[in-house]
Amino acid sequence: MDLNGECKGGGGDGFIDRSRVRILLCDNDPNSLGEVFTLLSQCSYQVTSVKSARQVIDALNAEGPDIDIILAEIDLPMAKGMKMLRYITRDKDLRRIPVIMMSRQDEVPVVVKCLKLGAADYLVKPLRTNELLNLWTHMWRRRRMLGLAEKNMLSYEFDLVGSDPSDPNTNSTNLFSDDTDERSIRSTNPQRGSHQEKEVR
């Protein structure tokens, strides 16, 4: 990152190489999804995009160990977004992944609820370049919080960290069993294979 905060293709900022950070992006608004995907790609992140909470969970079940950050729209609708957030932050393996919620609304009660449920941050749209350039810091903080060695942070030799068992009554099937559209619209970084997230009605 240069002094003007510009995104450089494939470049790190002297501490971490953003091109090695993989973000799972979820937004059910096609226009917003495209805009955020483009911004993240310009910041050199690897991006997998999905359109629903159901698709997020499917992507995590398939590729969880390879995902570093989740950036998700809260209005999926909101009940779905909150269920998704709760599911991820309570799961003993997935909770290592910081979840950053985003929305055009900035009502304090909504922000507070997201943070209480375990969101690492809450961003208000339209997103700013500097916010996206610094998304990797949430990954770094989460791994430090969970006790991973700094050397592993830099080499990306991450191991899943054990934590409290997830709610026995909470699983991806029950959470999103009312989803009827399982079609996934996938957008991928041209340098990466096709992976992205889910859609909830």
pLDDT tens string 118-140:
999 999 999 999 999 999 988 87
7 pLDDT band (50/70/90 cuts)? very low
Between 196 and 29, residue with greater pLDDT? 29
Q: Where are the domains of the chain?
A: 18-188
Is pLDDT above 90 for 1? no
Helix axes 78-90, 108-116, angle to 10 degrees: 30
- Give the CA radius of gyration of the chain: 16
Tell me the pLDDT tens digit for each residue of 137-174.
Answer: 888 787 777 665 443 444 443 333 333 333 333 344 44
Stated pTM of the model? 0.69
Give CA–CA dist 58/131, Å, rounded.
Answer: 27
Query: What does CATH list as the number for 18-188?
Result: 3.40.50.2300
CA distances from 200 to 55, 73, 163 (A): 8, 12, 28
Report whether 120 contacts 142 (CB < 8 A).
Answer: yes
pLDDT over 90 at 85, yes or no: yes
pLDDT at 176: 54
* Higher local confidence (pLDDT), 3 or 201: 201
